[in-house]
Structure 1
Amino acid sequence: MTRLLPVRDELLGGDARPLYLGWLARLGNDELHDDEIEPPVPAGLQALTPAQVALAEFLMLDADWLAAAAEASPSLLAPESSGSEDSRFDPWLRELPAEEMRAKLRMLLQGRSREAERMLRNAFLKWDKGRNTKQLNLPRRRRISEIESRVASHRAIREKKEQEARQATEARRRKVRTRYLTSLLEQEDTAWSSIDAQLRRTTGNAYDQAFQKLQDLAAAYENARRDAVFRRRLAQLMSSRDKRAAWLARLQKAGYLWQPKS
């Protein structure tokens, strides 16, 4: 819930994106019909704030529906294209009646700074919206069915990216694994000695550790196309080391080509 707290200030500052996310949640709950019209699409749906991301997660919004809805969302104006905050406020401040200014200053002196800021910001946003309505190229409001028609496309894009990410992760994992297996063969005598030392402990945990190292060695020899060497080294190990049933069962279950003598 801590992550959601900034949403209140964003709403008070005139950011309508949380409200649109709430409307999308109604879609997820099957509360709307295909022919219903969406509300005005706020700017910046493609770049939600951290609090809005948390809100989308809390509402369990479908990521593909959100991406489809965001197609009609204008980008937020960058500071360099919209000018500084001061330059935006100046025309409005010049029109603000002196009595209203005194009223807000009085609120500041009374310790009601947040209330004064909220009222001033809302008044400015209302003025700014009215001034620019004719200049804005507002997106056409779509029917729910129109948004839905784009969901499959975004789902395919998302799934492709996720698949590519999984493949990249798997490639990195294989690369690390290959380096590790190569390092085992660079010190194969040490690796076999480590297995032998674990077997001497004759405990279940020691057998587990020895068997894990043995599996790694088997994979290393297989990668190097030296399977025969692995079988020979394993036979040498077993000729001089523990032949307890618990250890033999592990070898047989793994399918290693070694059978104990009757």
Structure 2
Amino acid sequence: MSEYQYYEFAAIDKPLTRTEMVELRAVSTRAVITPSGFTNHYEWGDLKADPADWMRRYFDAFVYSANWCSCHLSLRVPKAVFRKTELEPFAHPFVLSIEATETHWIIGWALEESEDDDRFAQDDGSGWMRRLIPLRDELMRGDLRPLYLGWLAVGEELLDDMLEPDVPSGLTDLSPAQKALAEFLEIDQDLLEAASMNSAAATSSHDETLPISTWLDTWQTMQMQDVLKTIALGRGQEAERQVKSRYAAWLKAQRSASLGAARRQVAELRELAQSAAATRQAREAQAHEKREAERRQKREAELRWIMDSPDKYWKAASEQASRGSASGYEKTVSLLKVLAEGYALVASSDAFDRQLRRFLVPHAKRAALLRRLAEAGLWSG
């Protein structure tokens, strides 16, 4: 199997300039390059550039996928969104990386070795950017759930005596992008269920108990002037993000005292995950049993309807057998299997055997048919 790698970059806060697009084109003649991004895939070669460097210079989001069961996501957010002390507890060298530039945080999530070969054989990587890019806006609103999910994705590399980071609210109600991230990183769903047991309900950014007017009273005139200047310079989206991130940070500070759930050791999380797995398996078994009961009920209804007039099925089977072809014999066996089920349900297997012997009288010399009936367990000679 040939190598396959997919690269997709997105420029969100600032479109690429013509000069920047020329610089990118010098790296790849085949890539799709627009003011909003760069997309290319490679089947034998590789990107002749460092994605990390491109994230520092050009882009706000990056998705990578390779068919050797590896994938990566990077998002760049303004440095004002988080303090270093907020990010550090989630970091892990192989799964969740955090890099600081002069103006931004570059946060990277990685799945280095998936065991799901089928996923990477079938997935060309092209759908992930659309599903994952909303995470950036969530992070810029101060949502820590994507970071906690990255920490959970470390999985078996976490030591039993390690403490989890502070659990963000809303783990029981992940956004579509956060669910996509859990899928992207193949996070153990039972471990995620265990982690969510310590998570408060998600809170709205428009919490009526902490109105925006209260927050605005804390603003200094210079801060408001800076936002208005940004809007006047035509950077309204940037101003909106600044306001939202500041408001989210203020809400987080106001609620910090009430979100002080005890941090758990990884060993406790794993025990809770085992319990969650047992509960899930019992639930799945119950659901499977229900589906099977419904299937059996439906099948029995079909067989009873067939057995109201079995003669036409015997006749149809005989007509197929008389064709003397392999396909005719296969259809004969299929019809006789249905009749065998029907007789077992409403009469007896002996009744089916008696009818089968009568059926075979005109077809006794069809060796290929008899062999198929024997292989199907319908005839013993």
TM-score class, shorter-chain normalisation, is: 0.7 to 0.9
Q: Which runs of 5+ in 2 are unaligned?
A: 1-127
1:192 aligns with 2:303: no
Hey, what's the Cα distance between the residues in 2 that align with 1:249 and 1:235?
15
Given candidates 163, 181, 190, the residue that maps to 1:55 is: 181
> Matched residue of 2:153: which SS?
helix
TM-score w.r.t. length of structure 1 = 0.88
Structure 1 window deviating more from structure 2 (201-210 vs 42-51): it is 201-210
Cα deviation per residue 1:135-188 (whole Å; 9 max; x = unaligned)? x14101122122223222111101101111111111111112111111210121
Aligned to 1:148: 270
Structure 1 window deviating more from structure 2 (93-102 vs 193-202): it is 93-102
1:11 aligns with 2:139: yes
Question: Would you say the 8 A contact 2:200–2:259 is kept in 1?
Answer: no
Higher relative contact order (CA 8 A, sep 6+): 1
Q: Which residue identity does 2:208 align to in structure 1?
A: G
Q: Which residue identity does 1:62 align to in structure 2?
A: D
> Matched residue of 1:230: which SS?
helix
Q: State which structure, 1 or 2, has the greater radius of gyration over its C-alpha atoms.
A: 1
Q: Following TM superposition, by how much is the alpha carbon of 1:243 offset from its aligned partner in structure 2, in angstroms?
A: 3.2
Distance 1:110 1:176, change over 3 A: farther
Question: Would you say the 8 A contact 2:191–2:273 is kept in 1?
Answer: yes
Distance 1:222 1:132, change over 3 A: closer
Computed over aligned residues only, the root mean square deviation of the Cα atoms, in angstroms, reads 2.2
Aligned to 1:38: 164
Cα deviation per residue 1:79-137 (whole Å; 9 max; x = unaligned)? 99x439xx721211233233332332332343323221221111112222333334x14
Larger proportion of strand: 2
Distance 1:242 1:98, change over 3 A: farther
Question: Would you say the 8 A contact 1:200–1:242 is kept in 2?
Answer: no
Structure 1 window deviating more from structure 2 (13-22 vs 144-153): it is 144-153
Given candidates 79, 88, 93, the residue that maps to 2:216 is: 93
Aligned to 1:132: 255
Hey, what's the Cα distance between the residues in 2 that align with 1:193 and 1:169?
33
**Paired positions, count:** 253
Q: Following TM superposition, by how much is the alpha carbon of 1:225 offset from its aligned partner in structure 2, in angstroms?
A: 2.4
Q: Which residue identity does 1:67 align to in structure 2?
A: E
Larger proportion of helix: 1
Aligned to 2:353: 231
Hey, which bits of structure 1, 4+ residues long, moved more than 4 A? none
Hey, what's the Cα distance between the residues in 2 that align with 1:257 and 1:131?
78
Distance 1:218 1:141, change over 3 A: same
Q: Which runs of 5+ in 1 are unaligned?
A: none
Hey, what's the Cα distance between the residues in 2 that align with 1:124 and 1:57?
30
Hey, what's the Cα distance between the residues in 1 that align with 2:169 and 2:197?
10
Given candidates 111, 114, 121, the residue that maps to 2:244 is: 121
Aligned to 1:220: 342
Q: Which residue identity does 1:127 align to in structure 2?
A: W
Q: Following TM superposition, by how much is the alpha carbon of 1:23 offset from its aligned partner in structure 2, in angstroms?
A: 0.3
Question: Would you say the 8 A contact 1:199–1:242 is kept in 2?
Answer: no
Distance 1:170 1:147, change over 3 A: same
